[in-house]
Amino acid sequence: MLRIERATRDAIVAHAKRDHPDEACGIVAGPAGSDRAERLVEMVNAAGSPTFYEFDSLDLLALYREMDDRDEEPVVVYHSHTATEAYPSRTDIGLASEPNAHYVLVSTREHGNNEGPVEFRSYRIVDGVVTEEPVEVVEHLPTNTAADAAAADETVESES
């Protein structure tokens, strides 16, 4: 299951609508191993195409360096389809290279740049196998209990 904050979901949808009819793309980073979609990073579609997306190679390097420095990983990799359904294409499946990521597909085919609902679906893509998963939209991600516990421990220690 993908759990995502409403604000993040809405920002991805807004990005897709803004870039329509070209495909929009980006990631949501989160602490490595946490599966928490915390930090949205909109990327430029270097292909500038209605049928293809690709992160610019130097943007890609900068993004991964930044995530490395912050001990993050791409929790969500998203892109839009602008004339077809929000389902991974053969190309999407062949090029999927983050086995731990949630691949989010948004389709703007119904309303384009205009107001209106869009399909927002999430998949795992591992070794060429696509598995759709439920999307839970929440107002706020649950508190990071492990980090809280660690912080609480520190507080106790400093008081003793």
Partner 1 sequence: MAIEVRIPTILRTYTGGEKAVSAEGATLASLIDDLEANHPGIRDRLVESGEGDGVDLRRFVNVYINDEDVRFIGGLEAELSDGDQVVVLPAVAGGC
Residues in the site for partner 1, rule: CB under 8 A? 23, 25, 27, 43, 47, 49, 51-55, 57-58, 60-61, 64, 73, 77, 79, 81-84, 88-89, 91-92, 95-100
CB 158 to partner 1: min, Å: 34
CB 51 to partner 1: min, Å: 5
* Nearest CB to partner 1, comparing residues 95 and 147: 95
Q: Judge whether 23 and 45 are in contact, CB under 8 Å.
A: yes
* Nearest CB to partner 1, comparing residues 69 and 157: 69
Write the CB contacts of 141 (distance below 8 Å, at least 6 apart in sequence). Answer: 3, 5, 36, 37, 38
CB 40 to partner 1: min, Å: 15
**Residue 92 to residue 31: CA distance in whole angstroms:** 25
* Nearest CB to partner 1, comparing residues 9 and 81: 81
Q: Do strands 2-5 and 129-133 pair parallel, antiparallel, or not at all (unpaired)?
A: unpaired
| Structure tokens, 50 | 């209605």
